[in-house]
Amino acid sequence: MKLAIIYYSHGGHTKKMAECIAQGMSVSPVEVRLFSLDEELDVAYLNDCAGIIFGTPTYLATAHWRVLEWLTTNHSVKLAGKLGGCFATAHYAQGGSDSAIMSLAGILLTKGMLVYSGGSALGKPFIHHGPVALDAVGNHFEEAQEMFTIFGERFVEKALELF
Ligand SMILES: Cc1cc2nc3c(=O)[nH]c(=O)nc-3n(C[C@H](O)[C@H](O)[C@H](O)COP(=O)(O)O)c2cc1C
């Protein structure tokens, strides 16, 4: 099974969290590849994917325009029917990361994806809309990394169950 993470990262925080998720997803029989929106995407690979996770920095309490732009203008990667997930990085707990995630999740629903966060029912770590890492609040950025890896594990479990 093929899975992917598509993200935009200007300062490296969102990239680091994409790597933590990929670590959790790297289990047999899954192949996972990461795609930065600064690089050319492998459209053939992405079309073969059963699931794609989208990652964004929070800008002005919403998703970064580069992620929104790709989702708005993409016509080559078929998203309908795939499992989807979202994550964000942000400066502050009150900085709107949940709005950023939900702005992406709404688009994924519109595109016909099956959107999955794991949900708080899976227990600790309680992930509601998607994992968030804060880069300006104490040690949160470092401490959140395990949560992102667990999110990756949960996403794979659901993808294997569904597909
Ligand atoms: C123009 C701009 C706007 C931002 N707006 C927000 C915001 O509304 N809320 C917030 O918590 N952080 C905000 N941030 C901080 C980024 O979301 C945060 O530093 C993020 O981790 C950056 O990700 P990156 O290193 O992958 O680029 C903003 C940063 C910039 C440069």
Q: What pLDDT is recorded for position 162?
A: 97
Q: Which among 104, 126, 118 has a CA at the least distance from the CA of 159?
A: 118
Q: By percentage, how much of the chain surpasses pLDDT 70? A: 100
Q: Residue 32: enclosing H or E segment and its boundaries?
A: strand 31-36
Ligand 1: centre distance to CA 8 (Å): 12
Three-state DSSP class for residue 89: strand
Query: What confidence tens digit (pLDDT) does each residue in 6-35 have?
Result: 999 999 999 999 999 999 999 989 999 999
Q: Cα angle at 14 between 112 and 94, to 5 degrees?
A: 85
- What would the two tokens of residue 46 be? 């992405």
Pocket test for ligand 1, best of 58, 68, 141 (most atoms within 8 A of CB): 58
- For ligand 1, residues with CB inside 6 Å are 9-15, 57-61, 89-92, 95-96, 135
Residue 28 has what pLDDT? Answer: 86
Q: What is the DSSP letter of 80?
A: T
Predicted local confidence at residue 99, as pLDDT: 98
**Quick one: average pLDDT of 59-74?**
98
Which tokens hold the place of 100?
A: 């950023």
Average pLDDT over residues 102-116: 98
State residue 33's pLDDT score.
98
